[in-house]
C-alpha cells in the first residue's frame, strides 16, 4: 500500500534543501580555489573531490548536472559549471513523504500500517538513548551470561527513562528527560563542618536553594527537596 505523510514530506523537503545548499556552497568554494590557482590543476583530482561531495550529499546529488570546462586562458586550466535538473526536482517533490509499505496484515488500514512503520523511529531513538544519555552501550562482554545481564540492565535503564518521560509529560513539562535532568543536575549540596566545645565535629550536609526553574520542576513532579541530607558514618567513598 502507498502511504503519504505531510510531516515526513516537510522534513524530507527541508533535508533536501539543506543538502542542496551544501553542494552548491562547496562547488562555489572549489571554483574560487581554481580561480586563485597559479599553476595547472589536476582535473582527475578535482573530479574525485566533486565525486566525494556528491557521495556525502546523495539526497540532492542527482539534482546537479556538473560540467568540467577546459580553460586555457587561466593558470588552473579548468572551471566548474553546473545546472539543476528541474524535472528531477519535481519528481523528488512528488516522492517526498511517500512510502510503499508491504505487510502481511490483509485487513490493515493505511493509518495502521503507517503507525506501525514509524515505530521504527522509536526503536532507533531507544538505541540513541542507550548510547548517549544512559551511556550503557556498546556491549563489550564475551560470555553469554554477562551479555544477557548487560542487556537486562540496558532494558531496565530504558524502562526507567520512559517512566520518567511519561511522568514528565503528565506534569506538563514536555517529553525530554535529558533537559530536565540537566536542569536538576545544577542543584548542589555542601557540607558545613562545625567544631564543638567537647571536641567533637558537627557535620551538616545542606542542599542549595533551587533556582526558579528547578523549583517549578520539583513542584510539578511532586518532589519535596529536603533542606538537609543525612550523613552516613563509616562510609568509604569510591572516588
Tell me the three cell numbers of residue 121. Answer: 523511529
The C-alpha cell that represents 140 in the structure block: 563489550
Q: Does 126 have pLDDT greater than 80? A: no
Supply the pLDDT for residue 172: 80
Candidate from 99-103, 148-152, 191-195 with smallest mean pLDDT: 99-103
- Verify cis geometry, omega within 30 degrees of 0, for the bond prior to 130: no
pLDDT at 31 over 50: yes
Is 70 exceeded by the pLDDT of residue 18? yes
Identify the pLDDT of residue 25: 92
Distance CA 96, CA 11 (A): 9
Residue with cell 556552497: 25
Question: What region does 120 belong to: left with phi over 0, alpha with psi -120 to 50, or beta?
Answer: alpha
Lowest mean pLDDT among 28-32, 86-90, 102-106: 102-106
> Is a pLDDT exceeding 70 seen at residue 49?
yes
The reported pTM is 0.50
Using CB atoms within 10 Å of the CB of residue 53, give its burial: 0 to 12 exposed, 13 to 18 middle, 19+ buried. Answer: middle
Q: pLDDT category, 239, cuts 50, 70, 90? A: very low
The residue extents of the domains of the chain are 2-95, 121-184, 186-229
Bridge partners of residue 69, in order along the sequence: 79
Helix boundaries (H) for the chain:
6-36, 43-56, 58-61, 86-95, 110-117, 119-131, 144-170, 177-184, 212-221
> How much is the average pLDDT of 144-165?
84
Q: What percent of the chain has pLDDT over 90?
A: 5
Q: Which of 118, 123, 74 is nearest to 99 (CA)?
A: 118
Does the pLDDT value for residue 36 go beyond 50? yes
What is the pLDDT confidence band of residue 180, given thresholds at 50, 70 and 90?
confident
Per-residue pLDDT averaged across 94-107, rounded?
79
Amino acid at each position: 500500500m502507498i502511504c503519504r505523510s505531510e510531516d515526513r514530506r516537510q522534513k524530507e523537503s527541508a533535508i533536501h534543501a539543506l543538502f542542496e545548499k551544501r553542494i552548491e556552497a562547496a562547488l562555489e568554494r572549489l571554483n574560487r580555489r581554481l580561480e586563485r590557482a597559479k599553476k595547472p590543476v589536476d582535473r582527475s583530482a578535482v573530479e574525485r573531490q566533486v565525486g566525494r561531495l556528491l557521495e556525502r550529499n546523495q539526497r540532492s546529488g542527482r539534482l546537479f548536472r556538473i560540467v568540467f570546462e577546459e580553460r586555457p586562458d587561466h593558470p588552473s586550466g579548468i572551471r566548474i559549471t553546473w545546472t539543476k535538473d528541474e524535472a528531477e526536482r519535481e519528481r523528488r517533490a512528488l516522492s517526498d513523504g511517500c512510502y510503499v509499505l508491504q505487510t502481511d496484515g490483509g485487513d490493515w488500514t493505511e493509518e495502521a500500517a503507517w503507525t506501525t512503520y514509524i515505530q521504527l523511529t522509536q526503536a532507533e531513538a531507544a538505541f540513541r538513548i542507550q548510547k548517549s544519555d544512559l551511556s550503557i552501550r556498546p556491549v563489550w562482554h564475551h560470555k553469554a551470561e554477562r551479555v544477557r545481564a548487560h542487556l537486562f540492565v540496558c532494558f531496565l535503564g530504558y524502562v526507567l527513562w520512559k517512566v520518567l518521560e511519561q511522568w514528565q509529560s503528565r506534569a506538563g513539562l514536555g517529553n525530554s528527560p535529558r533537559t530536565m535532568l540537566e536542569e536538576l543536575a545544577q542543584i548542589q549540596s555542601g557540607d558545613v563542618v562545625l567544631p564543638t566545645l567537647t571536641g567533637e565535629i558537627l557535620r551538616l550536609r545542606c542542599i542549595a536553594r533551587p533556582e526558579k526553574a528547578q523549583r517549578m520542576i520539583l513542584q510539578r513532579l511532586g518532589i519535596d527537596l529536603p533542606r538537609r541530607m543525612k550523613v552516613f558514618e563509616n562510609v568509604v567513598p569510591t572516588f
